[in-house]
């Protein structure tokens, strides 16, 4: 399943990309998302770097390992799951600047294996969770921008 999320931020593409280059900044805008935690990262998002996170599903924390495979500053970068529950999970972040504003697009390709419900579970459970997640993330990033903490 392909998903796309888009939001306009009042910041230049170069500045927004630079903020995302540090994977520790995930924690800044996901601090209130109760089912996410950062485990480790390589401190950057260049090709081959690894980020490990956990996502809570019910009482269980599910470990996921992502490898960055696209790095084209300040236009886009991407990561894909190399260990975890998904058959496929790729996430490309695109930054299209227009002066002091940036359109940020998140392009995802998501698939659960058949034994976890496959396409039906992806459509009924995973896609709605991603929608809520990106709404939350965009709101938190806007809040950080207004408070001056996104830079």
Residue 33 has pLDDT above 90, yes or no: no
Mean pLDDT of 63-83: 97
Q: What is the pLDDT of residue 151?
A: 61
Which domains does the chain show, CATH number per domain?
2-147 (3.30.530.20)
Query: Does residue 31 contact residue 139 with C-beta atoms inside 8 Å?
Result: no
Residues contacting residue 21 through CB under 8 Å, at least 6 positions apart: 44, 45, 73, 77
Q: Is the peptide bond before 15 cis (omega within 30 degrees of 0)?
A: no
Q: Give residue 32's pLDDT band: very low, low, confident or very high (50, 70, 90).
A: confident
């Amino acid at each position: 399943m392909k998903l796309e999320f888009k939001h306009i931020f009042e910041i230049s593409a170069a500045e927004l990309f630079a903020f995302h280059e540090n994977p520790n900044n995930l924690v800044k805008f996901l601090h209130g998302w109760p089912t996410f935690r950062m485990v480790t990262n390589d401190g950057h998002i260049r090709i081959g770097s690894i980020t490990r996170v956990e996502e809570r599903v019910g009482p269980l924390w599910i470990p996921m390992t992502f490898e960055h495979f696209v790095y084209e500053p300040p236009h886009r970068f991407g990561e894909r799951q190399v260990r975890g529950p998904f058959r496929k999970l790729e996430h490309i972040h695109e930054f299209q600047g227009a002066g002091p504003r940036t359109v940020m697009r998140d392009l995802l390709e998501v698939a659960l294996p058949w034994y976890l419900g496959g396409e039906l579970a992806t459509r009924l459970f995973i896609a709605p969770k991603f929608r809520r997640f990106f709404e939350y993330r965009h709101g938190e990033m806007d809040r950080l921008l207004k408070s001056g903490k996104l830079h």
